[in-house]
Amino acid sequence: MTDPDDAEIAYYRAVEDHFAALRGTPFLFSPKDFALLRRWWREGVPLAAVLAGIAEAWERRREREEDPVSSLSYCRHAVARHGKRLMAARAGAAEAVPAPDVAAALAALVAAIADAEARWSKQRAVREVLGDLERAVASVPTNGDPAAIEKALADLEFGALDALARALPADAKGAIEREVGESLERLGLEEDIRERTRRALLVKAVRRLVGVPRLELDAGAA
């Protein structure tokens, strides 16, 4: 067994950092989780598929009001779905020329995320979330079904914004919470839709503050 190279270590670290950022606490994978992660690396599963799968599993448990994800094994099916779609796209890369709009859109997203990362360079937690997001988007194959890419981008976006909400410094978190709270008071919503609206307002505020682009292939929407 050979020692992991820098790219492999960066892959592991990005997944572990993303998982910890979503939980809001430091987290170390179990040997079983690490074995699963290493298998994904060896099989060539794109980083985008892993982070998108984690985010999808995270959101599903949130919607069911279940405890947060505590193991990579809970995410394996979602990762497999994303990986299959994106790796199928990659399989045709030798015969197909990347669609210019997809390649250009992904490149523009990577550049926009890098710009946000540079603006937050002094805030390590925020910078690391953005760095992992940048690497994930850069790992998306440019060939293949745009619908599969859009789905992966949507889940990456959810996971990143959730992680960023936790990674922001205390003063920024406080300002956003006050802004969201005041908006909810003005709206006077019923309890059953209040939490969903709070989540939407929080995401909007975090996106605006951090400068995260909408992760969509439509350049106009991004």
Are residues 107 and 219 in contact, defined by beta-carbon separation less than 8 angstroms?
no
pLDDT tens-digit profile of 149-201?
999 999 999 999 999 999 999 999 999 999 988 888 887 777 767 777 888 88
Cα–Cα dist 127/118, whole Å: 8
- At 1, the pLDDT band (50, 70, 90 cuts) reads very low
- Give the predicted TM-score (pTM) of the model: 0.76
pLDDT tens-digit profile of 6-44?
888 899 989 988 888 888 777 778 899 999 999 999 999
> Which residue in 130, 153, 147 sits closest to 222, CA to CA?
153
The residue ranking higher by pLDDT, 65 or 34, is 34
